[in-house]
Each structure stands twice: as structure tokens, then as C-alpha cells.
């Protein structure tokens, strides 16, 4: 998670995180970070940011037994807003590496795969 957060910060993104993740990331030097909540009843929760279209992607790696709030509502909103959603740190890191690579390309061209 720390690797992805540092790369996103380098790309100019601000990171929203829960309190526990905030502590881990700030301890590792991530600075462009703000605390939010997964709980829809708390003010300043992630849903408010999603509804204002201020979320570009969502990384939610909390294990079920540690989760205080169910995330079904978050997953539904992610689908509705067509946002990238990751449930493992490894997937988030790979996606962030791709963003980093794309940012460094001057002219991006591609050849679509043939339809079979």
C-alpha cells in the first residue's frame, strides 16, 4: 500500500484514507493525505467524496474480520461511477505503476487485439 501511495502522490494525487491507513502512510512519509471514513453515517466519509466525483480509484484491502463497516455500498458506488477498485495492495501497485508509465509516454499508440 505504501508503494502505491507514494507513486500516486508523486503523480499529484491526494490520498484519502481511514485512520489506521493514515497512520501507516504518514509514518512512511506520505504527505498528501486526508482522513476519511468508510462509515456512511460519519461526516466526511468516502461516499461523500465519491458523490462529489473527487475519487479517481479505490483501494480497500481490509480483511473482513477487522472491518467495522460493511463495504457493499462502496462496491455498488464504485460500479455506478465506473471507478477502478482494488482489494489487494499488489493489484493497486501494478495499476499505479501503469499510470506512472503512461504519464511518461509522449505519444501513446496501440493496436487492438483482433476480434475472434
Is the confidence at residue 33, as pLDDT, over 90? yes
Per residue in 57-100, pLDDT (tens digit) is 888 886 655 555 567 778 888 888 888 999 898 999 999 999 88
Residue 28 has pLDDT above 60, yes or no: yes
Phi, psi of 58 (to 5 degrees): -130, 130
The whole-angstrom separation of Cα 52 and Cα 89 is 25
Give all domains of the chain, ordered by start, each with its CATH number: 2-104 (3.40.50.1380)
Site of grid cell 486526508:
34
Confidence of residue 46 (pLDDT cuts 50, 70, 90): confident
Q: What is the pLDDT averaged over residues 21-36?
A: 93
Is residue 4 within 8 A of residue 60, CB to CB? The reply is: no
pTM confidence score: 0.73
Amino acid at each position: 500500500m505504501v508503494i502505491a501511495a507514494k507513486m500516486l502522490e508523486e503523480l499529484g494525487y491526494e490520498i484519502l484514507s481511514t485512520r489506521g491507513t493514515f497512520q501507516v502512510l504518514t509514518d512512511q512519509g506520505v504527505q498528501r493525505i486526508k482522513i476519511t471514513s468508510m462509515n456512511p453515517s460519519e461526516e466526511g466519509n468516502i461516499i461523500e467524496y465519491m458523490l462529489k466525483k473527487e475519487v479517481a480509484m479505490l483501494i480497500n484491502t481490509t480483511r473482513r474480520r477487522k472491518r467495522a463497516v460493511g463495504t457493499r455500498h462502496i462496491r455498488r458506488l464504485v460500479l455506478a461511477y465506473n471507478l477502478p477498485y482494488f482489494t489487494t495492495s499488489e493489484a493497486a501497485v501494478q495499476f499505479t505503476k501503469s499510470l506512472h508509465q503512461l504519464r511518461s509516454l509522449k505519444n501513446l499508440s496501440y493496436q487492438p487485439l483482433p476480434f475472434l
